[in-house]
A and B are shown apart, each in its own frame.
Chain A
Amino acid sequence: TQLLEQSPQFLSIQEGENLTVYCNSSSVFSSLQWYRQEPGEGPVLLVTVVTGGEVKKLKRLTFQFGDARKDSSLHITAAQPGDTGLYLCAGPPFGNEKLTFGTGTRLTIIP
């Protein structure tokens, strides 16, 4: 059973389009992190959201933590080829100290 489900699993869009990927759970999380992983490399942290309803922006990327702290979304505006990669959400279920990783969304931006 996967605690964090990400959707879609794969997404391929044209450069300049907007997109949203989702990270959902039936459990409450203390916080959620988003990582991006490029081929042949390890994941790199993009952002951590801590408070229910929190919104954080990183240039063209907008991250939101659900009010109930069970879900999160990542919205990319005007996608660029450099956004291509595997996006992973991760978080500690409430009361647990260890990170649980989501299944990942593999994003491809076509020039």
Chain B
Amino acid sequence: NAGVTQTPKFRILKIGQSMTLQCTQDMNHNYMYWYRQDPGMGLKLIYYSVGAGITDKGEVPNGYNVSRSTTEDFPLRLELAAPSQTSVYFCASTFTGMVNQPQHFGDGTRLSIL
């Protein structure tokens, strides 16, 4: 029972580099989300997707891009890494968009930009 799987678990980038954070889920969930978690700030929504081919911006989308070519995968791309993007990134999924449904989270990717 894998659930939501995120890779890599840790990564250090230099300023200006790019990378893709991977997220895959095996629960056939339609909705997927990317959050960042900063100390004392809770989780902030970056982007979300309601199904394959459909994505939309969340609260803090600047500096990130996403795609959703399949139901299972929802990668997050950083094009020009900046120190402000140092954070822990979480991917989550739900079967429907009903707000009372539990969000299933991956274990996160800890990213440092130096």
Contacts and interface: CB of A to CB of B under 8 A. Distances in A.
A98 B105 CA distance: 15
Contact of A40 (B43, B97, B107): B107
Contacts of B108: 40-42
Q: What interface size band does chain B fall in? A: 20 to 34
B40 interface: yes
Q: Is the interface of B mostly helix, strand, loop or mixed?
A: loop
B103 interface: yes
A90 B4 CA distance: 20
Given A33-B102, A92-B99, A98 B45 contact: yes
Q: What interface size band does chain A fall in? A: 20 to 34
A99 B97 contact: no
A42 B100 contact: no
Contact of B107 (A41, A91, A99, A104): A41
B74 interface: no
